[in-house]
Amino acid sequence: MDLASLFALAWPVMLKGTGYTLLFAVASMALGLPVAGLVTLIRVLDVRGLSRLAAVYVSAMRGTPLLVQIFLVYYGLPGVGIELSPITAGILTLTLNVAAYMSETLRGAIAAVAQGQWLAGTSLGLTRRQTLRHVVAPQALRAAVPSLSNSLISLIKDTSLVSVIAVTELMLATKELISTTFQPFPLYVAAAGIYWLLSLSFEQLQRRMEKRLAYPH
């Protein structure tokens, strides 16, 4: 089979797989960001009874392989009476995983804000929560944007792991095409190119966000 015929056959299948990849990445990022924000608030404000649990959650998500987490959610939860569809299980696992990493990014950005900013808020009569919201958080967000964008780019690549629970995202779609066409090299190159283009698109979005959040000159 020549390359033109191969890609004419493969393109619709890979395009559909790319749609699932984007679904997983965007949905997980959109759901993970508020979870990350909540975990960060709990830890920064040292909420009694919850701060330690939040730290354990972050440690567990960062300290275990994402593949094991996917298996645990999809194959393990039915053992305790919770059954999820492959798409729901994939989004849930990716959300919990990326939220843990983003919470550490946000916490680090907040910690990097000069201590004097906290003192300035206190001198203005603001509570610690008000100072965090109105003074510290906006500055921390500017610093966190590049790292948060890196999390999204990593998430795009991590979506390939949900193929193990029979979700036909880009990686599984590519494998299925290879099993019928026996053309692994050009198809894997095409899949790599699609992942790269998706990453480049989000890098452009990152630059726009950085400009929008930048201090005026």
- All structural domains of the chain, each given as residue ranges with its CATH number in brackets, are 3-213 (1.10.3720.10)
Q: pLDDT tens for residues 21-80?
A: 999 999 999 999 999 999 999 998 888 889 999 999 999 999 999 999 999 999 999 999
pLDDT of residue 213: 65
pLDDT band at 214 (very low <50, low <70, confident <90, very high): low
- Residue 191 and residue 101: Cα distance in Å, rounded? 26
> Is the pLDDT confidence value at 117 over 80?
no
Query: pTM (2 decimals)?
Result: 0.87
208, 145 in Cβ contact below 8 A? no
Mean pLDDT of the 110-120 span: 77
Q: pLDDT tens for residues 118-128?
A: 777 777 777 87
Helices marked H in the chain — which ranges? 3-44, 51-63, 66-71, 86-112, 115-123, 128-131, 137-158, 170-181, 184-213
Mean pLDDT of the 124-144 span: 79
